[in-house]
Structure 1
Amino acid sequence: MPMKELIKEAVSHFGSQAAFARAVGVTRSAVKQWLTGESFPTPENCVAIEQCTNKRVCRKRMHPHDYIKIWPELAETHNGEFTHDSTANHANRFAR
């Protein structure tokens, strides 16, 4: 789903752009730019959006192809092994 649609979904959760902007901690102008595709939420904004929408709009949906690179803590494990291409990145994080 395009980012604009996800932002629309998040705005609808709050009922107005102004209320959504307050919840995320940005200006209404920033929200309008996200809705028009003029700009995109920062990774920090994406975390705030996920939190204030109770994960209705989550980081994985906002960045489906690169969320692991942005937020490695979201990598899923299966039998103790990482299931995504970020395995090397995680191994390096914990190497001494």
Structure 2
Amino acid sequence: MNNAIKTAIDLVGSQQKLGSACGVTQQAVYKWLHNKSKVAPEQVVRVVTATNGEVKAHEIRPDLPGLFPHPVQAA
């Protein structure tokens, strides 16, 4: 299960609502949630926006650090 997407669903209210906010179907969100497909890079920003930034881009696609780098933590 994709915990970032689960958090996004919980914050937005449902798979349907997250899908609507991102311009995709509920079925697409279900696939993201269950790791049957990855969130397309252009959809990552929409998920972040739908959650008011509570879910971070690097949490959704940690496999794309060049596009969505993890913020550098202070020492």
Structure 2 length-normalised TM:
0.80
**Higher Rg of the two aligned structures:** 1
Aligned to 2:16: 18
Residues 39 and 61, structure 2, Cα contact 8 Å, conserved in 1: no
Identify if the C-alpha distance between structure 1 residues 38 and 76 changes in structure 2 by more than 3 Å, giving closer, same or farther: closer
Q: How many residues in Structure 1 have an aligned counterpart in Structure 2?
A: 72
Q: Secondary structure at the match of 1:6?
A: helix
Higher-RCO chain (CA-CA 8 Å, sequence separation at least 6): 2
Q: Distance in 2 between matches of 1:17 and 1:23?
A: 10
Q: Distance in 1 between matches of 2:38 and 2:15?
A: 15
**Greater share of residues in strand:** 1
Aligned to 1:90: none
Amino acid in structure 2 at the alignment position of 1:10? A
Q: Distance in 1 between matches of 2:42 and 2:50?
A: 12
Identical residues among aligned pairs (%): 31
Q: Show structure 2 runs of 5+ residues with no match.
A: none
Aligned to 1:44: 42
> How far apart are 1:51 and its partner, in Å?
1.1
Structure 1 length-normalised TM:
0.64
What is the RMSD of the two structures over their aligned residues, measured on CA atoms? 2.1
Q: Show structure 1 runs of 5+ residues with no match.
A: 78-96
> How far apart are 1:15 and its partner, in Å?
1.2
Aligned to 2:57: 59
Amino acid in structure 2 at the alignment position of 1:37? N
